[in-house]
């Protein structure tokens, strides 16, 4: 279990843009606490204290004790959502969610790549880090701070997927096992050269063969229906 962390919040009653603007002007951030089928209530919190929690390795997945100033009320909670100013990135609003420490929750956790792939060291390839987070289900006390996967053995055009991630007891990964986490791709200059070679016409004025085939397929085959996919 992580070190116990307490976050103090103050109750507030005023709502609306003007009230929130005044609150931010006084050095506080407006927020709301909800969850566990209980009524939500409005709070304000120090942005500095929020920043300290967000800079922990567990980040937004940090479990803390939410304490109401002036009242003997505490509750296990975590940050559910943050709103920031798109220009200054100042915190504008925060949503907290109450937790039952005996019930599982769903959270996103970061993936970290370990090692330098063979395809990068000796073959001139580049790592394309496609999915940097995965979604997991577990008890609050079991939330991993991150998941590490070794990519040192990868050659060009090889990848690691969700199925290759280490499994931690009590943690269930919700993403599809075939989801690619990272792949080693050829250098960009090589990829461009291949594309140009494929696109070069075989005779003056002729379209590339790949385009001809595409047109023939369109004319000779029925249209395919699109798959549809806090």
pLDDT of res. 196: 56
Model confidence over 110-119: pLDDT tens digits?
999 999 999 9
- Residue 15: pLDDT band by 50, 70, 90 thresholds? confident
H helices present in 55-199, as ranges: 118-121, 188-199
Model confidence over 214-229: pLDDT tens digits?
444 444 444 444 444 4
The model's pTM: 0.72
Better-scored residue on pLDDT, 212 or 88: 88
What is the DSSP-derived secondary structure letter of residue 9?
Answer: E
pLDDT of res. 152: 97
- CATH 2.40.240.10 occupies which residues in the chain? 6-100
Query: Does the domain formed by 6-100 have CATH 2.40.240.10?
Result: yes
Residue percentage of the chain with pLDDT more than 70: 80
- CATH 2.170.120.20 occupies which residues in the chain? 106-186
* CATH code, 106-186: 2.170.120.20
- Residue 2: pLDDT band by 50, 70, 90 thresholds? low
pLDDT of res. 14: 83
Better-scored residue on pLDDT, 131 or 201: 131
């Amino acid at each position: 279990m992580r070190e116990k962390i307490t976050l103090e919040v103050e109750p507030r009653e005023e709502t609306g843009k003007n009230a929130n603007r005044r609150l931010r002007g006084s050095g506080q951030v407006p927020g709301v606490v909800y969850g566990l089928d209980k009524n939500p209530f409005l709070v304000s919190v120090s942005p500095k204290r929020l920043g300290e929690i967000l800079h922990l390795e567990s980040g937004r997945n940090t479990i803390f004790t939410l304490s109401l100033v002036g009242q003997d009320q505490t509750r296990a909670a975590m940050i559910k959502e943050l709103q920031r100013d798109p220009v200054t990135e100042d915190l504008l609003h925060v949503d907290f969610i109450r937790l039952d420490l005996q019930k599982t929750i769903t959270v996103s956790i970061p993936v970290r790549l370990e090692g330098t792939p063979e395809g990068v060291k000796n073959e001139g390839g580049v790592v394309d880090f496609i999915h940097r987070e995965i979604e997991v289900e577990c008890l609050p006390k079991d939330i991993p701070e991150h998941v590490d996967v070794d990519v040192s053995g990868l050659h060009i055009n090889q990848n690691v997927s969700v199925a290759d991630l280490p499994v931690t007891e009590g943690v269930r990964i919700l993403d599809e096992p075939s989801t690619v986490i990272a792949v080693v791709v050829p250098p960009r200059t090589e990829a461009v050269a291949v594309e140009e070679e494929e696109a070069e016409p075989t005779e003056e004025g002729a379209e590339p063969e790949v385009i001809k085939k595409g047109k023939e397929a369109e004319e000779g085959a029925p249209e395919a229906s699109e798959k549809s996919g806090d």
